[in-house]
Amino acid sequence: MVANIFNNRTSLQTFTSILEKLPYSHPFLFVDTLNHVDENGVEGRYTFPVDSFFYTGHFKQTPVTPGVILTEVMAQIGVVCLGIFLLTDALTDDLAIAMTRTQIDFYKPVFPGETVTVRSTKEYFRFHKLSCNVEMLNSRHELVCRGSISGMMKPTTYA
């Protein structure tokens, strides 16, 4: 029992410290919570606020979450959060990141107010390049989009 409490608190601290190290802020932070993270993958969630800036123009009459934003949500949760976790030993504050490749197929639209879950599995992390297979599900557990995303992640200072 004691061990359980300890484990839960430890992972909560891990989630919090990852979220604190994310280099994004409003209106371009697309991570609400992390459900799980380990060296092989990550799962997290984001709810799209109905007043998100892109809904006024995409589309003019009918607000639908742009695919480029869904891609960004998958990259922030699936690649950047995982990368921060994997770099945890080396990382202090500064992190140089760049998305280098995306290949995504889209299956379902996401409307204002919806919550999505992102699951990412590490393909490899070598020489600062993190490559992941990532999928997004809506709250009905339907596949929204799926693909692969790669990025370069380098700590610019070492602890």
Partner 1 sequence: MQTKDELITTLKKIVKPYVQDEQAFEHVTESTDFINDLKINSANLVDIALDVEEEFDIVIDNEAMERMLTVGSSMDVITRKLAEKA
Q: Which of 128, 133, 138, 146 binds partner 1 (CB under 8 A)?
A: 128
Q: Which of 28, 124, 142, 156 binds partner 1 (CB under 8 A)?
A: 124
Contact predicate 152/129, CB 8 Å: yes
- How many residues sit close enough to partner 1 to count as binding (CB under 8 A)? 11
Question: Measured between alpha carbons, how far is 145 from 41 in angstroms, rounded to an integer?
Answer: 17
User: Among 10-18, 26-34, 119-127, 133-141, which window interacts with partner 1 (CB under 8 A)?
Assistant: 119-127
Helix segments in the chain, DSSP class H? 2-21, 67-75, 82-86
9 forms part of the interface with partner 1 (CB under 8 A): no
Report the chain's terminal Cα–Cα distance, integer Å.
34
Give the footprint of partner 1 on this chain (CB under 8 A): 98, 100-101, 124, 126-129, 150-152
